[in-house]
Amino acid sequence: MQNFDYMTPTRLIFGRNVIEKLPEVMAQFGRKILLTYGGGSIRKIGLYDRVKELLLDFDIIELSGIQPNPKYDPSVLDGVKLCKEHGIDVILAVGGGSVLDCSKAIAAGAKYDGDPWDLISYKVKAQEALPIVDIITLAATGSEYDCGGVISRIETNDKIGYVDTNLFPAVSFLDPTYTFTVSKKQTAAGCADAMNHIMEQYFCEDSTLLNDGFMEAGLKSLMVNAKKCLDDPEDYTARAEMMLTCTYGCNGIYALGNSMSGWPCHGMEHALSAYYDITHGEGLAIITPRWMKNILSEKTVDRFVKYGVNVFGIDSSLERFAIAEKAIQATYDFFKSIGIPMTLREVGIDESRINEMAHHVAVNEGLENAWAPLLEKDIAEIFTASL
Amino acid sequence: MQNFDYMTPTRLIFGRNVIEKLPEVMAQFGRKILLTYGGGSIRKIGLYDRVKELLLDFDIIELSGIQPNPKYDPSVLDGVKLCKEHGIDVILAVGGGSVLDCSKAIAAGAKYDGDPWDLISYKVKAQEALPIVDIITLAATGSEYDCGGVISRIETNDKIGYVDTNLFPAVSFLDPTYTFTVSKKQTAAGCADAMNHIMEQYFCEDSTLLNDGFMEAGLKSLMVNAKKCLDDPEDYTARAEMMLTCTYGCNGIYALGNSMSGWPCHGMEHALSAYYDITHGEGLAIITPRWMKNILSEKTVDRFVKYGVNVFGIDSSLERFAIAEKAIQATYDFFKSIGIPMTLREVGIDESRINEMAHHVAVNEGLENAWAPLLEKDIAEIFTASL
């Protein structure tokens, strides 16, 4: 086991109707709120109106239109400007991981005098940030329980994971009923995103019985519950379990003390969605089985055997590489079975920029230091195999 | 899934030599430290001297002699007095769960003007508490990652679980090498304590795939690693995994959203160790299989089937009650195999006060509302079966 230094101070308020506590929670932080959200989905489910009703006594400034793969310009820059102009006390992010990720960058930028990109690009370490409260409407990223966010800058094709311990949400409201109207496409993509968060931690040099059990339980929970949510979008228990399983995704609890894997699929997918603005979870699902095939070797095979036997119930008496190959196929088949388009062409990506993207990943993501190292040619091969 | 409101703000600093960070951590809280500890074990392993060396620049007041099943009088009362007299800024608890539990009660009492028993007995709600830092030397209670403690008051045979969100340690240092010298008896008792923490959460009305997987992983990790620690007390990896598995025991992460079970074994064991001052983990191990036999019924059998199949690998094709009985026997056999005395007589308890203890439990522990309700006669039967 590796040494670690770990804390997740976020308060989770989980379940039906927990939003009734919103006024008392917000009052802890002040009266001036920046309300951040995306498009119309929070209006459609009545959540926008309910939030405004509950917060009648507060001063609310709004930043709407935050997109998936949230953009530095205009969203982060606009949000920072609003916070400074209005002396905002606290940010209330309502939506999915993109809204929250964007709000984290705004929270840091609002307390910094220079260009917020200095913080996101790690040129300057944030000294503080505005407090953040969120109401999550999509089970996927786990941003509600970690201190990271992913921000895209279009002109440079950058999609950067920005992590800083100042950025833990103070409070996350998780009401599974808000996810009842999530489309089949987004339900499946959220499942794939959360499964990949676990896989990125599972495939590493050393793990423990405890962590493997946690992660295998997480993977099985996601597979079973995503199917239930697709069959019956208002299955409360399935939506709830999926939501909680996603919440643990990136805060470290699944694998405290494990060696770092390098998060290779995220490194590669960030290029795909930076260049083509595709759905993150779909990009991950497409890459994952091709990455697995690429790294399968004498060094890695035993982790695939454990994964195959414990997650998919593959017969442990088979030969090791046979188990691993069945496990990789089972991963592909599962994603396919929940309706994810499993080729890059289906999401609008062809071979034209593969070499450029592979070069971008090789230069920026440090995957030559991953547990199973990836050089530029490996990355290009994985992208090509994903076409 | 049940609604929940959850937070664990404690920072865990885990691994070899992490104590080097002690001065910078303590400096965040002030210069005046109450150092609390038990008997000589922290001196024997050199930890006392190392702490004093690292904290040369601080003012340290000491409270030593804190016993297992820590006592309200004198330990809590003495600690509160020292904090008030010396204007203590922060408590540094060095030892096992008893030292930390006692320090939590001191931390609350130090910020309260009246009799600290008002707080422990829930007559008055603590408004604040001194910050607590701990260095844990025993894998068992999980007190380092929760906001509860257990305090005994001898004259009334009370052993009370005192829980308050002000009592989360600010920082817990966990260096597995400090547990290398823990005796076989205490290693086994710590394992039984931690296993029972999980079982108290596992046997309930509703759980999820995720939580069951977490808890089954925790139980398997404890069983495998306790045996390794007994075979080779300096097996770092086994000590480390056991330490982390214990740490999660009571902070809720194993079972967020599960219905409450009522923690029946702890309710019963608290009477045993209040009346006879036995080792808590041994008391739990003795009671657990007898409690299981008592509650096995049509209502509970399916949980025992899941437990038996997933934790002990019992053949799932057997008849349900046969699986349950094998699971209960396997629980008993495991505790026996790690050297725990499995009868009350072996730990000095005879039948003379069973009825009195059963009455005390029935009046004070609310076990008639447990998932599998226990009336006074059930409690007496479980104690008698444990003789």
The CATH number of the domain holding residue B160 is 3.40.50.1970
ipTM, interface predicted TM-score of the complex: 0.96
The string of DSSP letters for A180-232 reads: TT--HHHHHHHHHHHHHHHHHHHSSS---HHHHHHHHHHHHHHHHHHHHHHH-
For A271-291, what is each residue's pLDDT tens digit? 999 999 999 999 999 999 999
pLDDT of B385 above 90: yes
CB B288 within 8 A of CB B196: yes
**At A236, which CATH number?**
1.20.1090.10
CA distances from A72 to A98, A113, B10, B252 (A): 12, 17, 33, 37
The letter for the amino acid at B239 is R
| Mean pLDDT, rounded, for B114-121 | 96
- The pLDDT score that the predictor gives to residue B158 is 85
Q: Is A20 on the interface with B (CB under 8 A)?
A: no
| Mean pLDDT, rounded, for A52-60 | 98
- How far apart CA A383 and CA A372 sit, in angstroms, is 16
For A288-322, what is each residue's pLDDT tens digit? 999 999 999 999 999 999 999 999 999 999 999 99
Q: Is A46 on the interface with B (CB under 8 A)?
A: no
Q: Are residues A33 and A166 in the same domain?
A: yes
For A72-127, what is each residue's pLDDT tens digit? 999 999 999 999 999 999 999 999 999 999 999 999 999 999 999 999 999 999 99
B70 preceded by cis ω (within 30°)?
Answer: no
Q: Are residues A349 and A380 in the same domain?
A: yes
Distance from CA of A233 to the nearest CA of B (A): 16
Contacts of A202 (CB under 8 A, 6+ apart): A212, A215, A219, A255, A261, A303, A307
Q: Is A225 on the interface with B (CB under 8 A)?
A: yes
- The pLDDT score that the predictor gives to residue B154 is 85
For A120-154, what is each residue's pLDDT tens digit? 999 999 999 999 999 999 999 999 999 999 999 98
Of A178, A194, A213, the domain-final residue: A178
pLDDT of A42 above 90: yes
Q: Is B175 on the interface with A (CB under 8 A)?
A: no
Say how many domains are in chain A: 2
Domain extent, residue B121, equals: 11-178
Q: Report if residue A1 sits inside a domain.
A: no
- What are the φ/ψ torsions at residue A90 (nearest 5 degrees)? -155, 145
Q: Are residues A208 and A113 in the same domain?
A: no
What average pLDDT does chain B have?
A: 97
Q: Are residues A198 and A166 in the same domain?
A: no
Q: Are residues B86 and B164 in the same domain?
A: yes
pLDDT band at residue B263 using 50, 70 and 90 as cut-offs: very high
Strands B4-14 and A171-174: unpaired
pLDDT of B39 above 90: no
Comparing alpha-carbon positions, the chain B residue that sits nearest to A210 is B217
Residues of B in contact with A13 (CB under 8 A): 4-5
Q: Are residues A168 and A189 in the same domain?
A: no
pLDDT band at residue B23 using 50, 70 and 90 as cut-offs: very high
- The pLDDT score that the predictor gives to residue A40 is 82
Q: Is A209–B216 a contact, with Cβ atoms under 8 angstroms apart? A: no
Q: Report if residue A270 sits inside a domain.
A: yes
Q: Report if residue B295 sits inside a domain.
A: yes
Mutation pick from B11, B21, B145, B214 vs chain A, by most beta carbons of A within 10 Å, is: B214
Compute the Cα dihedral for B151, B154, B159, B163 and give only its sign: negative
For B50-92, what is each residue's pLDDT tens digit? 999 999 999 999 999 999 989 999 999 999 999 999 999 999 9
Q: Are residues A216 and A273 in the same domain?
A: yes
Distance from CA of B207 to the nearest CA of A (A): 10
Q: Are residues B191 and B242 in the same domain?
A: yes
For B170-202, what is each residue's pLDDT tens digit? 999 999 999 999 999 999 999 999 999 999 999
Q: Are residues A198 and A347 in the same domain?
A: yes
Of A178, A211, A228, the domain-final residue: A178
CA distances from B216 to A7, B303, B317 (A): 24, 12, 20
Residues of A in contact with B20 (CB under 8 A): none
pLDDT of A156 above 90: no
- The pLDDT score that the predictor gives to residue B40 is 82
| Mean pLDDT, rounded, for A56-64 | 98
Of B178, B204, B225, the domain-final residue: B178
Please count the residue pairs, one from chain A and one from chain B, whose beta carbons lie less than 8 angstroms apart: 130
Q: Report the residue from A210, A237, A244 with minimal CB separation from B217.
A: A210
Q: E strands along chain A, which residues?
A: 4-14, 32-36, 59-63, 90-95, 132-136, 148-153, 158-163, 171-174
Q: Are residues A120 and A54 in the same domain?
A: yes
The letter for the amino acid at B235 is D
Q: Are residues B264 and B121 in the same domain?
A: no
Distance from CA of B166 to the nearest CA of A (A): 13
Residue B307 vs residue A159, higher pLDDT: B307
- The pLDDT score that the predictor gives to residue A356 is 97
- The pLDDT score that the predictor gives to residue A158 is 85
Q: Provide the H-helix boundaries in A232-263.
A: 236-247
pLDDT band at residue A39 using 50, 70 and 90 as cut-offs: confident
Q: Are residues B165 and B237 in the same domain?
A: no
Q: Report if residue B284 sits inside a domain.
A: yes
Q: Report if residue A352 sits inside a domain.
A: yes
Residues of B in contact with A144 (CB under 8 A): none
Q: Is B218 on the interface with A (CB under 8 A)?
A: yes
| Mean pLDDT, rounded, for B271-283 | 94
B15: left (phi over 0), alpha (psi -120 to 50) or beta: left
CB B89 within 8 A of CB B79: no
Q: Report the residue from B1, B13, B209 with minimal CB separation from A220.
A: B209
Q: Report if residue A221 sits inside a domain.
A: yes
- The pLDDT score that the predictor gives to residue A220 is 98
> Which pTM does this prediction carry?
0.96
- The pLDDT score that the predictor gives to residue B156 is 87
For A228-248, what is each residue's pLDDT tens digit? 999 999 999 999 999 999 999
Q: Is B28 on the interface with A (CB under 8 A)?
A: no
- The pLDDT score that the predictor gives to residue B275 is 93
Q: Report if residue A5 sits inside a domain.
A: no
- The pLDDT score that the predictor gives to residue A159 is 85
- The pLDDT score that the predictor gives to residue A157 is 84
Residues of B in contact with A168 (CB under 8 A): none
Q: Report if residue A87 sits inside a domain.
A: yes
